[in-house]
Structure 1
Amino acid sequence: MSLRYILLGFLNIHCMTGYKLKQLLDYSINNFWSVNLSQIYPTLNEMKKDGFLDVDIQVNEGTPNSKIYYITKKGKIELDKWMKETTPLPQTRNLFLAKLMIGTHFSKDLVITQLEEQLSLHEEALESLKKSFETEPVCMCNMEKHKLFRELIIDAGIKEEKASIEWCKETIEVLKESKF
């Protein structure tokens, strides 16, 4: 359900094709919200049926025609209503923490190995986020404002990864010193 509002929000900034939306999503929110083209097009079609979007066909020479999606007045009203709602805290499912809890019945070495793997994954994710600052911007209006908000979002991801890295390191040390 939230994907429709994210798409409405991006189309409120600028009308674009589904493919361009995918590029923009990858550029701006991929570190915390991954979306496939197979999710985007059905959602766009559903929102069109609901009257939140409309489509213009752009005739292209030598390539298939493009559908340019744009937000309608009804879509803007719906987006405005959604933006004013309180956003609940995310309900996270962390498979690793569930695995760690079950780890009480396995060897300390196995659990520490799992923690070290998680540490490595978080370090890789951190490096990837840091590189995100160097990614070329996707062309759109209001670029400076978009760039600022994108940097704030990447900063949130970096801080989360740093906290996870620190937790992994501390947990490894606690388990190494424990007698379980």
Structure 2
Amino acid sequence: MKKYNDTTYAILGILTTNCRSGYEIKQFIDNSLNHFWKISYGQIYPTLKKLEQEELATIQAASREGKPDRKEYFLTEKGKEVLKDWLEQPLKQLPIERNEVLLKLFFGRHQTEEQSLFLLEDYKQKLENLYQTYEGIEEGIARYNNNHSDAKYWLFTLDYGKRVTGAAIAWCDETIKEL
């Protein structure tokens, strides 16, 4: 079976959530995937076009009162098969984190201790804000999407984000103490 890039697989997956237009897909990415998987707006439409060309999705025009028609995308059986095949494949490699704080701290002897502390305090504050965002998302899923068939899987990925963020906050606290 033909191999596709990760953006293609991500958008195939998003189409299973009833997001149909490029705009809805972008909103979905911004509100969920963006916390652990980045897809730029400029990648969405070319990928959707490719999905149609490869017969992984079909397009239907949807009319809206007082607004121009919009294109809506629907997975084909072939698209579902490609997604399922990808989901069943083992991971190619562990993800590699690119973290500017760690990179700067790695070369920390070339800056003042005060600057390193500032860097860590700022990072910790951003992490705490992110953790609060995750809690808000969790509350929203519990309130509005609890019965959605994907909700438990969304909560699994959210729990991962909360745990990693919590661990990073604890790491900041320990590192600040050591400095």
Q: What displacement does 1:65 show?
A: 0.3
Once the two structures are superposed, residues 35-86 of structure 1 have per-residue CA deviations (whole angstroms, 9 ceiling, x without a partner) of: 3433211211122122211101112231010111011222122112111111
The answer as to 2:42 corresponding to 1:38 is: yes
Cα RMSD over matched residues?
A: 2.2
Instruction: Map 1:43-122 onto structure 2 (within 5 A).
Output: 43-87=47-91, 88-122=93-127
- Is 153-162 or 38-47 further displaced after alignment? 38-47
Map Cα deviations across residues 126-177 of structure 1 (whole Å, 9 max, x no partner): 111111123368x99x9532222212221111111110000001001111xx
Instruction: Answer 1 or 2: higher relative contact order, Cα 8 Å, separation at least 6.
Output: 1
What SS does the corresponding residue of 1:59 show, helix, strand or coil?
A: strand
Give the number of equivalent residue pairs. Answer: 173
- In structure 1, the residue matched to 2:169 is 165
Which whole-Å CA distance do the structure 2 matches of 1:150 and 1:143 have between them? 12
Paired with 1:136 and 1:148, the residues of 2 have a C-alpha distance of: 9
Separation in structure 2 between the aligned mates of residue 84 and residue 108 of structure 1, nearest angstrom: 48
Flag the 1:126–1:13 CA change in 2: closer, same or farther, 3 A: closer
Aligned mates of 1:145, 1:104 — CA distance in 2: 51
Question: What stretches of structure 1 of length at least 5 have no aligned partner?
Answer: 176-180
Check conservation: 1:17, 1:67, Cα contact below 8 A: yes
Partners of 1:168 and 1:28 lie apart in 2 by: 25
Identity of aligned residues (%): 32
Note closer, same or farther for the CA distance 1:19–1:143 as it changes in structure 2 (3 Å cut).
farther
Which residue identity does 1:144 align to in structure 2? Answer: H
Question: Superposition pairs for residues 146-157 of structure 1, below 5 Å?
Answer: 146-157=150-161
Provide the TM-score with structure 1 as the length reference. 0.86
1:135 aligns with 2:135: no
